[in-house]
């Protein structure tokens, strides 16, 4: 099938490469010429397990020319949706991209389906996207179809996740629209849920809110366990054996970051408030997560005077397996440490270049050099941190790196 993907970031590039591997003819559209050149040379602009290999073996064309979407049967919209100041979602990029799609496809003769992959609040596809797509006299349901198919891939495992989804959700304007998307996904070994557009939008937000809830829940339990001298990890293990609970997303620590969970949770809170509902649980999940980020700094102050100290940071990516630092807990921690007069030396196996774009003036060093600092904070649970010698050091562990327990002073956040 001929497929266009608008936005070649984490989601667009990965689904583009995967759909090309499955035999589809894919064109990626982006505004960032550097990204386009890299993709056309078969180079990945981001780190994802298996992505380089995929790009070297499959042909995916990238371009900034929207005219190239003209022959597509499906146009996926995968541009970023970021939080606005009031925590509602900014649709700026999505609207711009939709306007371009609408303009280019106004003369397209054959039927096509525009599919939203970007995460949006319930009602957005119907209320904001379809009117733009109809602007040039084209009629949804007749000239073209519309779907909303949320993406659930996890960064770090995104290629695997796209190829082996737990489920595919197809929100459809009508069954004709959904049939086209169904034909693309029918051979995936996963349940396919066909629903209306706003339900699909809500499935994504509710799923991420639930995962966020699990993390904040175990952190709350962890904060209580720490005061009681109980190992939260053991408690989580005991809970996780219960199939009704499940062991995933029960790692206590400094909470969730990244470009999705915090934003999607805030998007749902903002939407609920906008329609007059006070989502108290969701608000507490978010508040607790914000407080949890700075726990390592609180603990650090028990052992080191931060002003003029050199603090080592192990881990800058928002989670292991990625070079993505968007929403990383390291950002909040570095901000506070710099504000209190510390010098920072940091190491991450993949994310130093991306972090350097945000903080060019902190020192990026080897992991061994981080160990020579006055104290060390572990922010990301990279497996390689289990291979370091922490003897004699002061370590505050925001995750759970077992080897670090050998430090002279060792404290885990919870
Ligand atoms: P991203 O910022 O990595 O990529 C977005 C891309 O869109 C960028 O390359 C940008 O240059 C491009 N772009 C912006 N405006 C454009 C336009 N008018 N025309 C063409 N290209 C344009 O974002 P992402 O992480 O891939 O996320 C995309 C969407 O998918 C978001 O709504 C996000 O919430 C959702 N999502 C992300 C993930 C994830 O793990 N990153 C998972 C599921 C869903």
| Cα of 325 from ligand 1 centre, angstroms | 15
Query: Of the residues 4, 6, 7, which should be mutated to test ligand 1's pocket, given the most ligand atoms within 8 Å of the CB?
Result: 7
Give the residue-averaged pLDDT of 40-46.
90
> Does the pLDDT at position 87 exceed 80?
no
Query: Which residues are catalytic, by number?
Result: 260
Counting from 1 in the atom list of ligand 1, the atom nearest the Cα of 118 is 32
| Cα of 7 from ligand 1 centre, angstroms | 6
> Does the pLDDT at position 237 exceed 80?
yes
Structure-block tokens of residue 94: 């999505």
Give the residue-averaged pLDDT of 386-408.
97
pLDDT of res. 160: 96
pLDDT of res. 144: 98
Long-range contacts of 81-84 (CB under 8 A, 24+ apart): 81/118, 81/119, 81/120, 81/263, 81/267, 82/263, 83/262, 83/263, 83/266, 83/267
E runs forming strands in 117-175: 144-148, 168-172
Confidence label for 84 from pLDDT (cuts 50, 70 and 90): confident
Cβ atoms of residues 76 and 12 within 8 Å? yes
Counting from 1 in the atom list of ligand 1, the atom nearest the Cα of 259 is 41
Confidence label for 45 from pLDDT (cuts 50, 70 and 90): confident
pLDDT of res. 216: 98
Q: How far is CA 296 from the centre of its chain?
A: 23
Confidence label for 394 from pLDDT (cuts 50, 70 and 90): very high
Higher pLDDT, residue 82 or 211? 211
> For 244-298, how does the pLDDT look when each residue is reduced to its tens digit (9 = 90+)?
999 999 999 999 999 999 999 999 999 999 999 999 999 999 999 999 999 999 9
| Cα of 32 from ligand 1 centre, angstroms | 12
Q: Which of 406, 399, 407 is nearest to 375 (CA)?
A: 407
Give the residue-averaged pLDDT of 1-28.
97
Give the residue-averaged pLDDT of 290-319.
97
Strands 310-314 and 375-378: parallel
Q: Which of 127, 269, 144, 134 is nearest to 198 (CA)?
A: 127
pTM as predicted = 0.95
The C-alpha atoms of residue 260 and residue 158 are separated, in whole angstroms, by 14
Confidence label for 207 from pLDDT (cuts 50, 70 and 90): very high
pLDDT of res. 89: 78
Residues of the chain with pLDDT > 90, as a percent, come to: 96
Protein residues whose CB sits closer than 6 Å to any atom of ligand 1: 6-12, 29-32, 35, 78-81, 93, 96-97, 117-119, 151, 153, 155, 259-260
**Nearest residue by C-alpha to atom 18 in ligand 1:** 97
Query: Of the residues 30, 36, 82, 167, which should be mutated to test ligand 1's pocket, given the most ligand atoms within 8 Å of the CB?
Result: 30
Strands 168-172 and 144-148: antiparallel
Describe the strand order of the beta sheet including 2-6 as a list of residue ranges: 61-63, 25-29, 2-6, 74-77, 112-116, 144-148, 168-172, 192-195
**Nearest residue by C-alpha to atom 2 in ligand 1:** 80
> For 162-191, how does the pLDDT look when each residue is reduced to its tens digit (9 = 90+)?
999 999 999 999 999 999 999 999 999 999
pLDDT of res. 167: 98
| Cα of 251 from ligand 1 centre, angstroms | 28
Cβ atoms of residues 364 and 346 within 8 Å? yes
Give the residue-averaged pLDDT of 42-51.
91
Taking the alpha carbons at both ends of the chain, their separation in whole angstroms is 50
> Does the pLDDT at position 82 exceed 90?
no
């Amino acid at each position: 099938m001929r497929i266009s993907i608008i936005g070649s970031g984490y989601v667009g590039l990965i689904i583009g490469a995967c759909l090309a591997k499955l035999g589809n003819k894919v064109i990626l559209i982006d505004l960032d010429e550097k990204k386009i050149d890299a993709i056309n040379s078969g180079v990945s602009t981001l780190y994802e397990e298996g992505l380089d290999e995929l790009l070297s073996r499959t042909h995916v064309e990238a371009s900034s020319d929207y005219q190239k979407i003209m022959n597509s049967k499906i146009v996926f919209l995968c541009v970023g949706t970021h939080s606005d100041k009031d925590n509602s979602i900014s649709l700026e990029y999505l609207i711009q991209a939709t306007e371009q799609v609408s303009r280019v496809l106004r003369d397209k003769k054959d039927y096509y389906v525009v599919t939203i992959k970007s995460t949006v609040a319930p009602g957005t596809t119907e209320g904001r996207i379809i009117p733009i797509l109809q602007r040039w006299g084209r009629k949804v349901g007749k000239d073209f179809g519309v779907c909303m198919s949320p993406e659930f891939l996890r960064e770090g495992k995104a290629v695997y996740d796209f190829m082996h989804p737990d489920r595919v959700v197809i929100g459809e304007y009508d069954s004709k629209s959904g049939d086209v998307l169904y034909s693309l996904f029918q051979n995936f070994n996963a349940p396919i849920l066909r629903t209306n557009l706003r339900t699909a939008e809500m499935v994504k937000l509710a799923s991420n809110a639930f995962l966020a809830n699990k993390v904040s829940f175990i952190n709350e339990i962890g904060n209580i366990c720490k005061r009681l001298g109980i190992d939260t990890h053991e408690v989580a293990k005991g809970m996780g054996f219960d199939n009704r609970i499940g062991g995933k997303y029960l790692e206590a620590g400094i909470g969730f970051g990244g470009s999705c969970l915090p934003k999607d949770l805030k998007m749902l809170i903002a939407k609920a408030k906008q329609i007059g509902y006070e989502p108290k649980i969701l608000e507490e999940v978010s508040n607790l997560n914000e407080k949890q980020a700075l726990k390592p700094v609180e603990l650090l102050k028990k052992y080191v005077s931060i002003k003029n100290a050199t603090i080592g940071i192990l881990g800058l990516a928002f989670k292991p397996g990625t070079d993505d630092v968007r929403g990383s807990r390291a950002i909040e921690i570095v901000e506070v440490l710099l504000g209190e007069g510390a010098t920072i030396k940091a190491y991450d196996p993949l994310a130093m270049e991306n972090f350097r774009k945000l903080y060019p003036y902190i020192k990026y060093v080897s992991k061994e050099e981080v160990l020579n600092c006055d104290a060390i904070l572990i922010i990301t649970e990279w497996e390689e941190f289990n291979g370091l010698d922490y003897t004699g050091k002061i370590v505050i562990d925001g995750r759970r790196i077992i080897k670090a327990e050998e430090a002279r002073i060792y404290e885990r956040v919870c």
